[in-house]
Amino acid sequence: MQDKPDITPPPLRNDCFALPAGVDWTPVDDALTTLRQRLTPVTGVQEVQVADAEGLVLAQDVQALRSNPPLPNTAVDGYGFARGRPDGAHVLPLIQGRAAAGLPFEGKVPDGSALRVLTGAALPDGVDTVILEEDVKVQDGHIAFRGPLKTGANTRKAGEDLCQGALALPRQRRLTPADLALLSAVGVASVPVRTKLRVAILSTGDELVDPGQTAGPGQIYDANRPMLLSLMRRMGFAPVDMGRVPDDRDALRQRLNQVAERADAIVTSGGASAGDEDHVSALLRQAGAMQEWRIALKPGRPLALGMWDGTPVFGLPGNPVAALVCTLIFARPALGLMAGEGWCEPQAFQVPAAFEKRKKPGRREYLRARIRDGRAEVFHSEGSGRISGLSWAEGLVEIEDGARHIQPGDPVRFIPFASFWP
């Protein structure tokens, strides 16, 4: 038997999975604060029809051009007259005619008389109160009903929803279907919006092949690119597919040069650490505009952030789980700022845990999770290569930076994936 070389393995420390002493790991919140302070909108502004504006970001505050409702009107089908009535029985003569939505009653309703009114009709002169038709008996040209009925009952005031000139929607708002209703209701036909942020997606790694190709031994399919492209689309950005490049510095440099012309931001996956084949970080470092972000985060460190010819690059780790988490936690709010929508915080919920977990202090953790029966379940494995767990999950459980021993029933912070996009 050949003699083994006399190499002493490095001593295993008790806390070998704890963070290295003396190394500055940036807490997640500090990293986010930095992004928030440094990034500003980069997209242009264009005017679009309201009907085409869903999912786009308002570039300016939008004021109501008209009050909603424009005139006082009736909220129900019934009978209108002046002033409320006290307790007891009341009989009022009905006058000829009616007021309907879009078909106002032109005359004046004499004091003490009532008029047939239909939902949405502008209140005629002499009417400020409406009784519901179900509460009325009509006979011999009169209506009879029981009080009490307050003055103004069953009516809507002009502008009670929104007054002309009031702020309808603020700049930075990503427009929802309901926003299109609001804008239309207050007379706004077109709005100034930001052009979509173009985000280039690029995979790196010698081992990658595209789905559909033959994969040799040791090769794997590029799983990140379709995921990241679709994430960008969901978040309201315009994804630009820049394919994949091998672990080759010249090829990567060329591709980054092409990308920088076609995109407002570049998101790469793989090659972001400080290893021999980590060319994204190496190139960015060479370009002199690279921040290696050693973030106290699991899964996901490190992240290479840099500028390539003026275009921000988010160098994500290659692990699909880490790539997704880093995209949601860092790239999403950063890109949102660049897209002009301000700083977006995902909506999180406190829910009881359906699991037990001990966590050491030092870094924030994100677990693949979903809610069942009102409790947060986590995926059975924390392995960051387990893509099936990403697909299983419907959100993330976020565990704070400090130590924690979570027991079933304890409150945990759950962030649905859907909180990360509009």
Binding site for ligand AMP (CB under 6 A): 203, 205, 207-208, 220, 222-225, 269-273, 317-320
Closest CB 321 distance from ligand AMP, rounded Å: 9
Instruction: Supply 384's token pair.
Output: 């960051």
Q: Positive or negative, the Cα torsion across 65, 70, 76, 77?
A: negative
Beta carbons of 368 and 379 less than 8 angstroms apart: yes
Count interface residues toward Mg ion (CB under 5 A): 4
Alpha carbon 373 to its chain centroid, in Å, reads: 25
Pure H helices in 379-420: 387-392
- Please, which residue, 205 or 315, has the CB nearer to Mg ion? 205
Q: What, of ligand AMP, Mg ion, none, does residue 207 touch, CB below 5 to 8 Å by kind?
A: ligand AMP
Per-residue x/- track, 183-222, Mg ion (CB under 5 A):
----------------------x-----------------
* Angstrom distance (rounded) from CA 162 to CA 159: 5
Q: Would you tell me how many other CB atoms lie within 10 Å of the CB of residue 54? A: 15
- Residues in contact with 253: Cβ distance below 8 Å, sequence separation at least 6, in sequence order: 283
Closest CB 315 distance from ligand AMP, rounded Å: 9
Q: What, of Mg ion, ligand AMP, none, does residue 340 touch, CB below 5 to 8 Å by kind?
A: none
The secondary element (H helix, E strand) that includes residue 411 is strand 411-416
Q: What, of ligand AMP, Mg ion, none, does residue 224 touch, CB below 5 to 8 Å by kind?
A: ligand AMP
* Angstrom distance (rounded) from CA 32 to CA 291: 14
Closest CB 40 distance from Mg ion, rounded Å: 31
Q: What, of Mg ion, ligand AMP, none, does residue 181 touch, CB below 5 to 8 Å by kind?
A: none
Closest CB 273 distance from Mg ion, rounded Å: 8
Q: Does 270 bind Mg ion (CB under 5 A)?
A: yes
Which of 82-90, 126-134, 222-230, 264-272 is the region at the interface with Mg ion (rule: CB under 5 A)? 264-272
Closest CB 217 distance from Mg ion, rounded Å: 17
CA distances from residue 206 to 187, 224, 244, 340 in whole angstroms, order as listed = 56, 14, 9, 36
Which of 41-49, 89-97, 153-161, 315-323 is the region at the interface with Mg ion (rule: CB under 5 A)? 315-323
The residue behind tokens 């939505």 is: 101
Residue 392: HSE in the Cβ half-sphere, 13 Å Cα cutoff: 16
Instruction: Supply 388's token pair.
Output: 């099936």
Q: Does 317 bind Mg ion (CB under 5 A)?
A: no
- Please, which residue, 102 or 218, has the CB nearer to ligand AMP? 218
| Sole binder of Mg ion in the list 41, 124, 271, 320 (CB under 5 A) | 271
- Please, which residue, 44 or 383, has the CB nearer to ligand AMP? 383
Q: Are strands 238-245 and 198-204 parallel, antiparallel or unpaired?
A: parallel
Closest CB 281 distance from ligand AMP, rounded Å: 10
Closest CB 278 distance from Mg ion, rounded Å: 7
- Residues in contact with 43: Cβ distance below 8 Å, sequence separation at least 6, in sequence order: 57, 194, 195, 196, 197, 264, 338, 339, 340
Q: Does 320 bind Mg ion (CB under 5 A)?
A: no
Binding site for Mg ion (CB under 5 A): 205, 270-271, 318
